[in-house]
Structure 1
Amino acid sequence: MISSHASSFAGLPVRLFTPGEPLPEDPSAVAWRLEVEEFEAEPEEFADLVATFRTTVPAEAVRAVVVGEWGSAYERALPVELLVDAATEWTGLRAIFLADLVSEQCEISWLTLADITPLLTAYPALETLWVRGGNELMLSPVRHDGLRELRFESGGLPGPLVQAVGESQLPALERLVFWLGRTDYGASTGPEQLAPLLAGGGLPALRHLGLCNSEIANVVARTVADAPVVARLEVLDLSMGVLTDDGLDALLAGQSLTHLRRLDLTHHFLSDEAQQRVVAALPGVDVDLSDARKVEVYSGREYRFTAVGE
């Protein structure tokens, strides 16, 4: 469950754009939040808001944009084209957060996204892109020389999107995070979709990789165990999923992980013995084993849940 909006983004405090309100002394010192108040607002209301923003805030001062409610986000696609249209003006834009909505506005797995390829094409100097939601989210393999951080938060991420990122050329990308999610919320990522990413050919600068919130965390761990990209990482994040002793055994049986600075296994289903074993196997590595979970049993069946679903 997402319960709060981002209060800061890309190192800047987030400020809601309200037509008619005075601008801050330095409008480039904030990340501007664009959203309509009514969750069932008509499409033209958000379009009008963006148009007003473009005529109010000096284009050269737009450094970071956070897109909140755009109206009926549960069924109406995110209007990426409005940001694309502004690209010739917002030449200093370096960070975008798409769909920063909380659960009370729209559950993460109900959010309706769009093809974000035009956004990356329109902003070649973009450095940070965060995206929340997975429905209708698409990406074609691209080359982007500016992107340093890419983050996808979802209760169920489409496998083709994960594969497209792996097939892209992102030479400056240092941080990459996926919340893979659950099949009942649209997740469709498996070893085949992960293969290009884990080969790492298009990600020479990658130092932080998150394959999080996964119902197939054990499969992910086995796939990661001998992945070439791991050798260049400082942080490997397998948190928020349903990792069990079997997955950990596979991970530790693969290549050495002692070069890592941090291994994040937060929200796991590991036994006490397995937790002790991973710490002993990785001296000097910050292994985060917080939020140990217990198996839930209903009608004689065992259930393990990811941190974020609906």
Structure 2
Amino acid sequence: MTSIGVEHVGGFHGLPVHTARPSAGDPPAADAVAWRLQCDYDEDLDFAGLWQQFLDTVDAARVRALVIGPWWRDSYTPFAPVMELIVSHADRFPALRALFLADVVGEECEVSWLRMCDITPVLEALPLLEEFTVRGCGREGLALRPLRHTALKSLRFESGGLPGDVVRAVAASELPALERLDLWFGSSWYGGDATVDDIRPVLSGGGFPRLRHLGLQNSEIQDEIALAVGSAPVVAQLETLALSMGTLSDQGGEALLNGQPLNHLARLDLRHHFLTEAVLDRIRIACAPAVVEGGEAEEDYGDPDDEPERYVAVSE
């Protein structure tokens, strides 16, 4: 995993994150923190026991944000039973506005091993949810069905391999309040088989009228995405755009330069790229006064006489 965005959340929904520990003293006020639930190797409780203790000791009706960390103790288990617990007790959380599934980093479990499931029931059970983040790959069952959700403002998939089915479901969903959308496409080796055609309904600008931030990131087809963004109607309504973490090269850079103006943006994120310095400088000039985040180019490990060997920031 990479240092770009893949780390434990330090704050969520504007709240400090507090880890609920069975052996801890008096807990903070239920609505003052984002509650992080995780199984520890030195504790006896499995996640079901930890969840029940949380419900018994914290006023769930006032909880505003939940973060689910490692949900296993001795051996890794799929996420589905955790999702079932959240869904079955959804009525206990009328104030819940933010949910992060699988706040797990590489030292705890590689993102490609995070066996997610169909996460649609969570959104269906929490119609007032405003912020939803999911971390994990799709080769082991990550799924989403198209749905209508009128409260969701931020939707984020952090993946080393995001299935095209999930991307198409997002694009086909009715999310009239959505302001932020981040999709980490990942590697085809780990189930990331989404294509530019899968995101065209998003790029058309008609699906999410309130969208102000779009992240199309961590992709092996970052040049193709850049080309599509160059003429995408949705760009005109954006304040920030992220095309970072992928294999963006001079080909994609030229597509951005030859496409529609991007200088209305507040920020264009291109970090983890394979652009030459000259092309990156031209993008910065063309996009001014927008801030272009680039940094140094990643190293291409391919033989100069062969095809380039570029890589996404988050895969395994």
Match for residue 176 of structure 1? 181
**Is the CA contact 1:166–1:198 (under 8 Å) kept in the aligned structure 2?**
no
Pair 1:77-2:79 in alignment = yes
Q: Distance in 1 between matches of 2:294 and 2:239?
A: 17
Match for residue 45 of structure 1? 46
- The within-5 A match list for 1:12-51 is 12-38=15-41, 45-51=46-52
Match for residue 55 of structure 1? 56
Pair 1:134-2:137 in alignment = yes
Match for residue 121 of structure 2? 118
Instruction: Specify whether residues 225 and 74 from structure 1 end up closer, same or farther in structure 2 by C-alpha distance, changes over 3 A only.
Output: farther
Match for residue 195 of structure 2? 190
Match for residue 309 of structure 1? 315
Partner SS, residue 151 of structure 1: strand
**4+ residue runs of structure 1 moved beyond 4 angstroms?**
72-75, 298-301
Amino acid at match of 2:182: V
**Is the CA contact 2:62–2:94 (under 8 Å) kept in the aligned structure 1?**
no
Q: Distance in 1 between matches of 2:257 and 2:65?
A: 40
**Is the CA contact 1:238–1:265 (under 8 Å) kept in the aligned structure 2?**
yes
For 2:218, which of 177, 202, 213 is the aligned residue?
213
Pair 1:293-2:295 in alignment = no
**Is the CA contact 1:12–1:31 (under 8 Å) kept in the aligned structure 2?**
yes
Q: Distance in 1 between matches of 2:76 and 2:212?
A: 34
Q: Distance in 1 between matches of 2:68 and 2:305?
A: 44
Amino acid at match of 1:270: L
Q: Distance in 2 between matches of 1:213 and 1:25?
A: 37
Instruction: Specify whether residues 8 and 91 from structure 1 end up closer, same or farther in structure 2 by C-alpha distance, changes over 3 A only.
Output: same
For 2:280, which of 275, 283, 289 is the aligned residue?
275
Q: Distance in 2 between matches of 1:105 and 1:160?
A: 27
**Is the CA contact 1:166–1:200 (under 8 Å) kept in the aligned structure 2?**
no
User: How many matched pairs?
Assistant: 308
Q: Distance in 2 between matches of 1:68 and 1:280?
A: 42
Q: Deviations over 1:148-172 (max 9, x none)?
A: 1111111111111111111111111
**Is the CA contact 1:156–1:182 (under 8 Å) kept in the aligned structure 2?**
yes
Match for residue 65 of structure 1? 66
Residue identity over aligned pairs, in percent, reads 48
Pair 1:250-2:252 in alignment = no
Amino acid at match of 1:114: C
For 2:237, which of 232, 239, 249 is the aligned residue?
232
**Is the CA contact 1:23–1:57 (under 8 Å) kept in the aligned structure 2?**
no
**Is the CA contact 2:67–2:100 (under 8 Å) kept in the aligned structure 1?**
yes
Q: Distance in 2 between matches of 1:231 and 1:74?
A: 44
Partner SS, residue 212 of structure 1: strand
How much has 1:180 moved relative to structure 2? 0.8
Partner SS, residue 157 of structure 2: strand
How much has 1:28 moved relative to structure 2? 1.4
How much has 1:258 moved relative to structure 2? 2.1
Q: Distance in 1 between matches of 2:256 and 2:200?
A: 16
Instruction: Specify whether residues 299 and 247 from structure 1 end up closer, same or farther in structure 2 by C-alpha distance, changes over 3 A only.
Output: closer
Partner SS, residue 113 of structure 2: coil
How much has 1:298 moved relative to structure 2? 5.5
| TM-score, normalised relative to structure 2 | 0.91
**Is the CA contact 2:67–2:99 (under 8 Å) kept in the aligned structure 1?**
yes
Q: Distance in 2 between matches of 1:156 and 1:225?
A: 24
| Structure 2 residue ranges without an equivalent (≥5) | none
